[in-house]
Amino acid sequence: MLVFGFWTTKICNTRNCFNKIVLIALFSLTFHCNGFASIVCPDLKKILTKFDSPSRWFMLGKKCKVPAGARERLKEAIAISEAMSEHAQKQAARYDLLLPEDAGFLEGDEDEDTNTISQADIADAVDITSGSKYFNLHLSQFGPYRLDYSRTGRNLLVGGKKGHVACIDWQTKDLKCEMNVMETVNDVKWLHTEAMFAVAQKRWLYIYDSKGVELHCVKKFNDVLRMQFLPYHFLLATASATGFLQYLDVSIGKEVAAICTKMGRLDVMAQNPHNAVIHLGHPNGTVSLWSPNQKESLVKMLCHRGAVRSLAVDKTGTYMVTSGLDRKLKVYDIRAFKPLHSCFLPAGASCLSLSQRGLLSAATGEIVQVYQNVLGSNPVSKPYMAHRLRGQIWGLAYCPFEDVLGIGHGEGFTSMIVPGAGEPNFDALDTNPYRSHKQRQEWEVKALLEKVQPELIGLDPGQLSKVDQASFEQRHKEQIEALGFDPLAKDKFKPRTKKKGRSSAGAIEKRKRKVAHEDQRDEIRQSVQERTEREKELKEKSNEKKLGNKSTLDRFRK
């Protein structure tokens, strides 16, 4: 008890710079004995309660508005949902203290630019485990290479232009499979697990397992140039040389959608991780956004004067970075579809990639440059890091949860250390780099059960949580279709029966015509009134113009 009393005193006296380990011990203690914590340190409760009001980092979105005239059951359901959401935000803010890792960074000496520090110097300065992350694979015979990291960041997939495909556990340098498909390879992409990957070959799309055994040959997908995998939808999106954007559901092995973009060759492609919308760059300088639910593009933006060479979207789905033949690098706010700032690169950027922490890597010829703080209103400044390679760069990709940038080039593959690139803390329920074989199997079953249908892909994913407020016309139309008649239609006039011969057929028809003429007269009266008001307004406007153009010399006119 004395030890914990000393620790709490230390925290209360130095609130601005307390030890995280000490706070974790106290934080876990308050879950079991809140009363004891308040006795030992009365200010401890104040320290912890500031996390009960979560900041904007933990907000799950705006509160749902209750529509006017909603039923009590709907109001109650919305209130319960909002209470659960608020509780989850508070818990996320409190558990944020327990995250043990911090993002790294690179800091040079006084008057030293960080972009002049070489990879060899960084590897010598860090520990052995981190230093081993910088390595080169000399594969000049089958290059240049495309690459892709698995979602957990453990496995690396490389594919050479001349048919060489290899699957590697890059941390242990364990080669899982290696083969030559004896055909041109345009792109490679991991699927939902490390057990399968897709290879876009010269003619068709092929699916292989982690041992290099061919599982499928999808002949519907021909001349594929680029691929993107949507993990929560189990969709493999492909862009072909014939201008087709196709979606393959890998869980059932069927084609979901095939869209003819009518924009020519599609060799620039990226996905928005926030809403699963596909971004395509075109030779006319435009970037189009696509969903499998529509045959036309959701949005079309003119980004460059020349062809678009590469593009990348950050993980929040807020910013998009593009580069074109006009040698400009532009940052766009996707929410407003407007450019924030742009800069001129002397050689232009052929490849772009964004890390989990917002670092931008741009390949210009044989040099790769890493920029910091480019997302937002800040203009692009000097590079954060730079590295020169032997061959022409053909592919860039950041490794998830690691400070590593993978570079595929004409001479093989290079793993580059980039401090501060990876997210230090991961969600073990979603992507766990240290999961076992049993955990991977369980995760795959859960992911299939939680699979998001492709019909839900759209620009605004938050629209799913809103109440469907159908318009009056739409509800009226649905009511007519359900009942078979219009309940709001005006009933036909039925004259009541009168005595003394006044209900003869001629008299009834006369009364019907009279009522019909009254309706016509009302319509005519209303149209005449509108016409007179319109003529009156036009006359007033003409008089104002005449008065405004009147001159003092008009009295001498005849």
| pLDDT at res. 39 | 40
**Among 216-230, 316-330, 451-465, 534-548, the least confident range:** 534-548
The structure's pTM equals 0.72
User: Could you read off the pLDDT of 49-92 as tens digits, one per residue?
Assistant: 544 555 555 665 666 666 666 778 878 888 888 888 888 888 87
- The most confident of the ranges 11-20, 63-72, 452-461, 499-508 is 452-461
**Among 180-194, 245-259, 431-445, 500-514, the least confident range:** 500-514
Distance CA 256, CA 220 (A): 12
- Which CATH superfamily groups domain 114-458? YVTN repeat-like/Quinoprotein amine dehydrogenase (2.130.10.10)
User: Could you read off the pLDDT of 367-412 as tens digits, one per residue?
Assistant: 999 999 898 777 888 899 999 998 899 999 999 999 999 999 999 9
| pLDDT at res. 89 | 82
Q: Which amino acid does the sequence have at 251?
A: S
Which residue blocks in 450-494 are alpha helix, DSSP H?
Answer: 472-483
| pLDDT at res. 549 | 65
Percent of the chain exceeding pLDDT 70 equals 81
- Which residues have C-beta within 8 Å of that of residue 439, sequence separation ≥ 6? 432
**pLDDT, averaged across the chain:** 83
User: Could you read off the pLDDT of 453-469 as tens digits, one per residue?
Assistant: 999 999 988 777 766 66
| pLDDT at res. 55 | 52
Give the pLDDT band of residue 219 (cuts 50, 70, 90). very high
Residue ranges matching CATH 2.130.10.10 in the chain: 114-458
Whether 357 has a pLDDT exceeding 70, the answer reads: yes
| pLDDT at res. 38 | 40
Give the pLDDT band of residue 349 (cuts 50, 70, 90). very high
Distance CA 529, CA 198 (A): 71
| pLDDT at res. 550 | 64
User: Could you read off the pLDDT of 292-330 as tens digits, one per residue?
Assistant: 999 999 999 999 999 999 999 999 999 999 999 999 999
Q: Provide the residue count of the chain.
A: 558
Whether 43 has a pLDDT exceeding 70, the answer reads: no
Distance CA 381, CA 38 (A): 49
Whole-number Cα distances in Å, 519 to 74, 96, 511, 513, 525: 42, 71, 13, 10, 10
Distance CA 187, CA 226 (A): 6
Task: Order the strands of the 412-417 sheet from edge to edge.
Answer: 135-138, 412-417, 404-409, 393-398
User: Could you read off the pLDDT of 259-296 as tens digits, one per residue?
Assistant: 999 999 999 999 999 999 999 999 999 999 999 999 99
Percent of the chain exceeding pLDDT 90 equals 54
